[in-house]
Amino acid sequence: MRPATVRAAVDAQAAARPGAPYFISPEAGRALSFGGLRDAALRLHGQLRALGAVPGDKVALYMGNGIATAQLFVGAMYGGYTVVPLNLLAQGAQLEYVLGHCDARLVFVAPQEMEKVAAAVARLARPLRLVAVDPDAADLYPDAAHAPLAPVDEGDDALMMYTSGTTGTPKGVVLAQSAVIAGGRFVSEAHALGSADRVLGSLPLYHINGQIVQATSPLVHGGSVVMPHRFSASAFWRLAAEHRCTWINVVPTIISYLLAGPDPRGEGLDISAIRFCRSASAPLAPEHHRAFEAKFGIEVIETMGLTETAAPCFTNPLERARRKIGSPGRAFGNEAKIVAPDGRALGPRETGEILVRGANVMKGYYKAPEETAKALEPDGWLHTGDLGYLDEDGFVFVTGRLKELIIKGGENIAPREVDEALIRHPAVLEAAAVGIPDEHYGQEIFACVILKPGARVEEEELKAFCRAEIGPYKTPRMIRVVDELPRGPSGKVQRLKLVELANA
């Protein structure tokens, strides 16, 4: 029988392979076994009860990656609490808003972040208890008293994640126990993962990809995760080789950085155990996809997911011959359809909004019934806000975001089309386009580019290149060279923040 709750998944793995490693922290030089994870979850429950929390309460985390962070993340859900991981990039007013909105009783905070969180809590109208925890602590609350566990139902709230809030007030995405496990299961099944598999996961535990793909899928298939504090281009391949990782989990930004570095095989590192590279959280430029496979000899499986779908909703097949570069794949574990603005279902290659439905879809947005009603249809279909189309084989092709779509003189222009044209220029490493106000056309196109190390190029040369690639109408009016692009925690470019650069 497949587990439907985090507790059932942890108990099953702890019974089947108690001594097998689950979470490996390279900086701390320690591993947490499945048996150790269950014991830590039981101790955490006892500690939470001693602190006055009861199952169903919300427990927030403001911590970077580490063994203790993993114990808190999994252990809170195990005990029937709702875990609220807070984005470490959230500061000031945004941090204050989320802490006030989420109704958490407790916040576990890394010591170096305590001053920042305490300042935000001091401005709240309600008391909130802060608990300092070193993310690398190996044994969490070894002396905690035992407390009886309350039953956990698959429909109970397990995880609440706040969206980045780049287009408005952050929204709390509420995911049930069953949705968290379904997300982990879909990853495991799509990639045929088993107990012998080990992922190198450099993404943070405060992002849905890190939480589900890296931390939850091993709970389902019994594998393990090597999770450093953060991504490091200089350490990435060494960690993969030392720990004999069988797959790597990345975002396109990481692929860009790795492409700029050396081939690890030329430095004597054995990466032959790696079966594939999973890319998600943002569209992967086809040029980078092909370049990565050619340089490192590792196949890339592009996927797509949302916070609202507990990470995965589309994936390319394992079989290389059936994949399509430029597409994040087909619905896996979900249904998908494309709809027109009037809700009419569209046919193959007709562009509209992408909708998905499945067991991993959120329950709704916390304390936001109107926003929930806009996003979720009564029959379970989720409006993703992404524009795209399905081809004849059911592969989805994403062309942009509803709110990011550039409408120039009444013509719709997908920002990604402009991005990919610029990336094809030999001097350009990354690119991002956005619409800016224009009195004649309604919107014009503005783009920012990051150049490859040592490269130089003039704006007019890039414009001429774009005109040849996509035509004058879609060529940006302005192109600016920048050192970095504004990003969310997953590495996804926050396009609407580019508008500020256009006016700088």
The CATH number of 406-502 is 3.30.300.30
Say if residues 274 and 245 touch (Cβ distance below 8 Å): yes
> How far is C-alpha 122 from the chain's CA centre?
30
Question: Hey, what amino acid is at 328?
Answer: P
Q: Domain boundaries in the chain?
A: 6-190, 406-502
- In terms of C-beta density within 10 A (0-12 exposed, 13-18 middle, 19 or more buried), how is residue 478 classed? middle
Structure tokens at 384: 């993703």
Q: For residue 166, give the 3-state DSSP assignment.
A: coil
Instruction: Quote the strand ranges of 309-423, DSSP E.
Output: 311-315, 330-331, 334-339, 352-358, 364-365, 382-390, 396-401, 406-408, 411-413
What is the reported pTM?
0.85
Single out the residue of 473, 476, 434, 429 nearest to residue 455, CA to CA. 429
Whose tokens are 């923040």? That residue is 497
**Residue 86: DSSP 8-state:** P
pLDDT in tens, the chain (504 residues): 799 999 999 999 999 999 999 999 999 999 999 999 999 999 999 999 999 999 999 999 999 999 999 999 999 999 999 999 998 877 777 899 999 999 999 999 999 999 999 999 999 988 899 999 999 998 899 999 989 999 999 999 999 999 864 445 789 999 999 999 999 999 999 999 999 999 999 999 999 999 999 999 999 999 999 999 999 999 999 999 999 999 999 988 899 889 999 999 999 999 999 999 999 987 888 999 999 999 999 999 999 999 999 999 999 999 999 999 999 999 999 999 999 989 999 999 999 999 999 999 999 999 999 999 999 999 999 999 989 999 999 999 988 777 787 878 767 687 888 999 999 999 999 999 999 988 777 789 999 999 999 999 999 999 999 998 888 889 999 999 999 998 876 677 888 789 888 877
Superfamily holding 6-190: ANL, N-terminal domain (3.40.50.12780)
How far apart are alpha carbons 158 and 167 in whole angstroms? 26
Give the model's pLDDT for residue 166: 40
